[in-house]
Amino acid sequence: MSDRPHGREEFRAAVDAEIAPRAARFDRDQSIPGDVLRRMGELGWWGAILPPETGGAGMDMVTLGELHEEVGRGCSSVRSLLTVHSMVSYAVSRWGSDEQRARWLPRLARGETIGAFCLTEQRAGSDVANIAATAVRQDDGSYVLDGGKRWTTGGQIAGLLLVFARTGRGISAFLVERDTPGVEVRPVHDMLGTRGSMLAEIDFRDCRLGPGALLGPDGFALATVVTGVLDIGRYSVACGCVGILQACLEAGARFTAEKGTRTQPLSEHQLIRQMLTQTVTDVTAARLLCRQAGELKDRQDPQTIMATWIAKYFASTAAARAASDAVQIHGAAGCAPDHPAQRYYRDAKVMEIIEGSTQIQQIKIAEEAYRWTAR
């Protein structure tokens, strides 16, 4: 345990040593190699959110946010894998039965089993209530699962799938082992961004699940497991976006301080300074919003749910802006193969879509405003 980093400075050093220098490679290869995944286990990152008695690092949510920010600064694809794994770990820890917890948490904590989150379908994205996958309960208490899930981050390597399906009582959550007969995983390549996050399409055909596969309340998963797990995912993405902002800031400042004509370095141009000022302000504000959301989570304050929506909305839109500026600042160099700026740009755009798109957030956050406004 003692060699596990547990504070921002240590996370930063580990990311700079082991993740950031290889991120361009992960992006090009569209995969994170096994040695990195194993190393993340040694560092305690897979089990960051889980309590020590299960083998986890027992981090509070503020510290978890700092970890996901630092990892996101180095590589959004690695952070995406951590995000979905943390979502599954949280779900088992929060809603799992004693048997489910005993069986899965130690493996999830070590990263021996990677978790993936299977919610989205062809015709059910932000409108999760449209889920068409079904899990039909049999007389012996087992379920038969049918349906297809899309855009599953980490789906290529996950051993444990958290799948949402319709039962007779509503929408429910299930823990599905990847090697269950009837599970078919197809890799998805050449996405715009987070290309290393090993996306998959997963089909479930006539999959027989034991009675112990049901996670949480039957038929009431939307307001509990889905909302709770997406809250964790949204928090992780928001923090990861702070990392992208920080990376854009550092790259832009370093480049413009060095580059320019003999008479005038780029850093002397006012319009360059304007872009950097915006990024500095955005990263500071986004980090504070994430910290606030994390502190509210640590206090189990219900306000954390909306605070996280706001943090994710601000951080993802700011990251997309800053990454666009970072490419602009670097000019042709920023568009070159393997240049970090173009990767930040592609990755940041994805952040505006996942875990609640910018538009969904604009609707939800405004809804909150109307709730508060006098009749």
Partner 1 sequence: MTAAVGPEIAKFLAGSFPNLDIGDDDDLFDGGIANSLFTIQLIMFVEKRFAVQIPNEDLELDNFRTVTAMTKLVERLTQARSDV
Active site residues: 355
User: Which 3 state secondary structure label does DSSP give 337?
Assistant: coil
> Which of 41, 188, 220, 298 touches partner 1 (CB under 8 A)?
220
Asked if 60 touches partner 1 (CB under 8 A), the answer is no
Asked if 98 touches partner 1 (CB under 8 A), the answer is no
Handedness of CA 119, 124, 129, 130 (dihedral sign): negative
Asked if 228 touches partner 1 (CB under 8 A), the answer is yes
| Choices 9-17, 35-43, 213-221, 312-320; region in contact with partner 1 by CB under 8 A | 213-221
Asked if 263 touches partner 1 (CB under 8 A), the answer is no
Q: How many Å apart are CA 51 and CA 42, to the nearest integer?
A: 16
Closest of 257, 307, 314 to residue 281, by C-alpha: 314
Residue 256 contacts residue 267 (beta carbons within 8 Å): yes
Run of H or E including 242: helix 227-258
| Choices 34-42, 223-231, 271-279, 323-331; region in contact with partner 1 by CB under 8 A | 223-231
At closest approach, how far in Å is the CB of 303 from partner 1? 8
Residue 204 contacts residue 162 (beta carbons within 8 Å): no
> Which of 16, 258, 301, 338 touches partner 1 (CB under 8 A)?
301
At closest approach, how far in Å is the CB of 173 from partner 1? 10
At closest approach, how far in Å is the CB of 371 from partner 1? 6
Q: How many Å apart are CA 13 and CA 340, to the nearest integer?
A: 18
> Which of 29, 219, 336, 363 touches partner 1 (CB under 8 A)?
219
Residue 32 contacts residue 41 (beta carbons within 8 Å): no
Asked if 231 touches partner 1 (CB under 8 A), the answer is yes
Asked if 369 touches partner 1 (CB under 8 A), the answer is no
At closest approach, how far in Å is the CB of 359 from partner 1? 16
At closest approach, how far in Å is the CB of 130 from partner 1? 14
Is 180 exposed, middle or buried (CB count within 10 Å of its CB: 0-12, 13-18, 19+)?
A: middle
Residue 356 contacts residue 126 (beta carbons within 8 Å): yes
Asked if 260 touches partner 1 (CB under 8 A), the answer is no
- Read off the DSSP letter of residue 374: -
Binding residues (CB under 8 A) for partner 1: these are 95, 97, 216-217, 219-220, 222-224, 226-228, 231, 300-306, 364, 371-375
